[in-house]
Structure 1
Amino acid sequence: MAGPVIMRKLFVFILSCSILASATRLKQVAMVDLPGNPGFNEVALANGQVVITHPETNTVEIFSPVKRRVVARISQVDNPRGIAVDDAAERVYIALAGSNRIAVVNSKNWQVEQLVPVRNAPEKLLWVPETKTLFVTSTRARTLSIVDTHIGTETAVIDLGALPKDILYDVSRQQLLVSLQDINEIAALDGSNRIVDRFRLSASEPTGLALDPGRRRLYVAVRYAVLVLNADNGSEISRIPAPGGTDTLILDTSDNLLYAAAGDGSILAIDLAKGAADHELPTDVKGYSIAYDPTRKQLFFPGGREGRAKLVILRPVGMTETPQNAATPRPQGAPQTAQK
Structure 2
Amino acid sequence: MSTNKRPTCPSCTRPTKLCLCTRFKNPILDNTISVTVLQHSLEKKHPLNSARIATLGLKNISLVHVSDVLNEAQFQIQCIQSNADVGQNGSVQKCEKIESLHVFESNGDLGRNDSVENGEKIGSFDMGLNDLSEKCEKIESLSFCDSNLDVGLNGLVENGEKMESLKPMDISFTIDKKGVIIKNYGFDKLLVDQCAIRNGFNVKKIRKANDGKCVKEFEINVGPGSLLLFPSEGSVGVEDIGFDVKNLIVLDGTWGKATRMYKENPWLKLLPHLKLDIDKMSLYAEVRRQPKAGYLSSIESIVYAMKAIGGEDVEKLDCLLDVFESMVVDQRRCKDEALNLVESNITSM
TM-score, scaled to structure 2: 0.25
Greater share of residues in helix: 2
Q: Which has the higher contact order (CA 8 A, sep 6+)?
A: 2
Instruction: Report which of the two has the higher share of strand.
Output: 1
Please report the TM-score for the alignment, with normalisation by the length of structure 1: 0.25
